[in-house]
């Protein structure tokens, strides 16, 4: 299922790439469209605490976004809605590519996770999110976990959006107007980077993930042993 989704999406991108190239950078298969600094050669100071909130996973289990889905590993949180036909498919493709790249390093993969959170709880039920996950999530055993969540209800959504600075406006046709934002969150639950779509390049995000993990002595020693 996922390969069909990516092939269909890739074909669509080939048709529209010329029209949108001046507006945004697309995630590239061969790395970022700009120089990516080596992991550990820069710092990512904490920006703010990540927020929690009542969410529901694909199996219908209620969770807290921070305590159950984000803390404990380096997490990449992306906010989307499944009916989106503009920015969200690009971010989903970027997350899928990120998962594929991370799968090549099992040590890295075990210490990170991807989290996609919908901001359309009326439509994006756990069942919808389960089907959506099947279309995007890798079946590669070494890939990092990728969790798909939806707010528990409309009341839970508002505080989450406010905490992450994600503005969403309903259009007359039912579509939702928004900008793309993704968040790099460390194991302690602190936001360490915020990505717009222009800078949501998988190679850059993975460098950021490794930079955070190098703050952990155990991973730093493991990385040194793997270095050529």
pLDDT truncated to tens, each residue of the chain (228 aa)?
A: 565 555 544 444 333 333 333 333 344 444 567 788 999 999 999 999 999 999 999 999 999 999 999 999 999 999 999 999 888 999 999 999 999 999 999 999 999 999 999 999 999 999 999 999 999 999 999 999 999 999 999 999 999 999 999 999 889 988 898 999 999 999 999 999 999 998 999 999 999 999 999 998 766 555 544 544
Any known ligand binding at 88? yes
Q: Is 25 annotated as a binding residue?
A: no
pTM: 0.83
Q: What is the DSSP string of 6-61?
A: HHHHHHHHHHHHHHHTTT-PPPPTTS-SSPPPPTTSS-----EEPP--EEEETTS-
Domains of the chain by residue range: 46-226
Domain boundaries 46-226, corresponding CATH code: 3.40.30.10
**Any known ligand binding at 178?**
yes
């Amino acid at each position: 299922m996922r390969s069909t989704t990516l092939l269909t999406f890739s074909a669509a991108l080939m048709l529209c790439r010329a029209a949108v190239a001046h507006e945004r950078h697309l995630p590239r298969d061969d790395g970022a469209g700009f120089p990516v600094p080596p992991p550990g050669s820069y710092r990512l100071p904490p920006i703010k605490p990540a927020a929690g909130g009542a969410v529901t996973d694909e199996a219908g289990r209620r969770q807290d976004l921070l305590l159950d889905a984000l803390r404990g590993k380096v997490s990449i949180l992306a906010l989307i809605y499944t009916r989106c036909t503009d920015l969200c498919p690009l971010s989903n493709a970027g997350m899928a590519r990120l998962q594929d790249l991370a799968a090549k390093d099992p040590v890295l993969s075990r210490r990170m996770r991807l989290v996609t959170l919908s901001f359309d709880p009326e439509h994006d039920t756990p069942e919808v999110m389960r089907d959506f996950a099947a279309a995007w999530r890798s079946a590669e055993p070494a890939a990092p976990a990728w969790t798909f969540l939806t707010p528990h209800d409309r009341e839970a959504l508002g505080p989450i959006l406010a905490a992450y600075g994600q503005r969403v406006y309903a259009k007359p046709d039912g579509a939702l107007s928004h900008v793309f934002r993704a968040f790099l969150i460390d194991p302690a639950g602190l936001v360490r980077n915020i990505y717009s779509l222009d800078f949501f390049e998988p190679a850059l995000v993975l460098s950021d993930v490794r930079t955070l993990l190098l703050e952990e002595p155990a991973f730093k020693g493991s990385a040194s042993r793997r270095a050529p």
